[in-house]
């Protein structure tokens, strides 16, 4: 029988704090629980970077094939990576980092691109500069803050509509550099990064429930940066006036990604059609990408 070489933590086994009226977790998680989960796969330790996970070792719909371990990593912004973190990144073999943030976003939050010896950081913004005007940001924050699945689908449709070039850049790396591990990130490693991860997962046949579980792990992965995120949000008028809205920004719900996968199928014709129509890749490219993302699984007796 082919099984995961690690156990995905069940979000139903959380230390359960109070919920907001939308049923979302809003208070800090048990630190001991967080530390335990972050110390185990699929989480990976890179000092100064939170929410880093290996997308490898997930079973697929192709018998005896799993996603390649130690190749594709997802995370949050790398601006505060420490010297130790740089060493850890190199030890993982990561040669390339794809930054999905916009230039105005980096300037707004004072999170420049670091210099990491031996690692190339490539800009692959999902949104153009004009998409981060104060007016557009306010509307986007309102979508986040509502906390509803419908609102997130509006946001995720924007990510999908605008992100074809960025996601195509990552996919071309997989096509052309199968032996060069990489990491991709946005600010929190949740929404843009989550959609990018979903595209990679679904392109090789990872089941929906595993894609959703991976997405929901961001609730734990972001916890070390919880206070920093809340301080940043408190500077925005929308959240300064209503702290509960800021807390909702920390959620990462299974059903949100489940709805996003349905969105990709219903609106974009499925992930393969999306990759062709929005990322500019063809059948041969997709075949190579699949081959480069998959390896033989080892049976566990």
Identify the band that residue 212 occupies on the pLDDT scale cut at 50, 70 and 90.
very high
- Neighbouring residues of 299: CB distance < 8 A, sequence distance ≥ 6: 1, 2, 64
Please give the residue that has the higher pLDDT: either 10 or 296. 296
Structure tokens at 140: 């986007």
According to DSSP, residue 178 is labeled T
Domain ranges of the chain: 34-296
For residue 115, the tally of other CB atoms under 10 A from its CB is 8
- Which pair of tokens denotes residue 21? 């009226």
Residues of the chain with pLDDT > 90, as a percent, come to 66
Q: Give the residue among 191, 198, 152 at the shortest CA–CA distance from 171.
A: 198
Please give the Cα distance from 110 to 212 (Å, whole number): 31
pLDDT tens for each residue of 167-209: 999 999 999 999 999 999 998 899 999 999 999 999 999 999 9
At residue 247, the pLDDT reads: 74
Fold of 34-296: 3.90.190
Arithmetic mean of pLDDT over the chain:
87
> Three-state SS for 200?
helix
The answer to which of 139-148, 191-200, 271-280 has the lowest mean pLDDT is 139-148
**At residue 113, does pLDDT exceed 50?**
yes
pLDDT, tens digit (0-9, with 9 covering 90-100), for 65-100: 999 999 999 999 999 999 999 999 999 999 999 999
Amino acid 255: pLDDT: 94
Q: Residue 136: its pLDDT value, please?
A: 64
Paired tokens of 57:
């070792």
Say yes or no to pLDDT of 298 above 50: yes
Extract the tokens encoding 65: 């094939």
User: 29: how many CB neighbours lie within 10 A of its CB?
Assistant: 18
The reported pLDDT for the residue numbered 105 is 83
Q: Return d(Cα 202, Cα 195) in angstroms, integer.
A: 10
Mean pLDDT of 104-111: 83
How far is it, in rounded angstroms, from Cα 50 to Cα 218? 9
Residue 254 has pLDDT above 70, yes or no: yes
8 Å CB contact between 174 and 72: yes
Q: How do residues 7-62 score in pLDDT, each as one tens digit?
A: 665 443 333 343 444 444 457 889 999 999 999 999 999 999 999 999 999 999 99
**Span of 68-72, 119-123, 147-151, 171-175 with lowest mean pLDDT:** 147-151
- What separation, in Å, do the N-terminal and C-terminal C-alpha atoms of the chain show? 7
SS3 89: helix
């Amino acid at each position: 029988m082919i099984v995961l070489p690690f156990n995905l933590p069940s979000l139903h086994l959380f230390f359960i704090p109070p919920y907001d009226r939308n049923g979302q977790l809003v208070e800090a998680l048990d630190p001991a629980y967080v530390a335990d989960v972050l110390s185990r796969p699929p989480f990976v330790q890179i000092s100064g970077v939170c929410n880093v996970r290996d997308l490898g070792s997930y079973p697929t719909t192709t018998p005896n094939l799993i996603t390649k371990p130690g190749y594709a990593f997802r995370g949050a912004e790398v601006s505060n990576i420490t010297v130790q973190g740089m060493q850890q990144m190199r030890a993982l073999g990561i040669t390339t980092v794809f930054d999905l943030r916009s230039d105005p976003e980096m300037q707004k939050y004072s999170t420049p691109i670091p210099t990491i010896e031996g690692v190339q950081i490539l800009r692959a913004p999902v949104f153009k500069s004009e998409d981060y005007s104060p007016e557009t940001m306010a509307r986007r924050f309102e979508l986040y803050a509502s906390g509803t699945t419908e609102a997130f689908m509006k946001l995720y449709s924007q990510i999908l509509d605008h992100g074809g070039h960025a996601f195509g850049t990552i996919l071309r790396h997989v096509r052309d550099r199968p032996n060069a591990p990489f990491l991709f990130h946005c600010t929190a490693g949740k929404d843009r990064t989550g959609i990018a991860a979903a595209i990679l997962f679904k392109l090789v046949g990872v089941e929906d429930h595993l894609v959703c579980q991976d997405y929901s792990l961001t609730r734990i992965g972001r916890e070390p940066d919880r206070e920093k995120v809340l301080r940043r949000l408190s500077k925005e008028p929308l959240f300064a006036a209503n702290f509960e809205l800021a807390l909702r920004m920390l959620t990462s719900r299974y059903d949100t990604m489940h709805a996003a996968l349905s969105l990709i199928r219903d609106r974009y014709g499925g992930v393969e059609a999306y990759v062709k129509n929005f990322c500019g890749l063809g059948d041969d490219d997709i075949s190579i990408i699949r081959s480069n993302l998959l390896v033989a699984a080892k049976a566990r007796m």
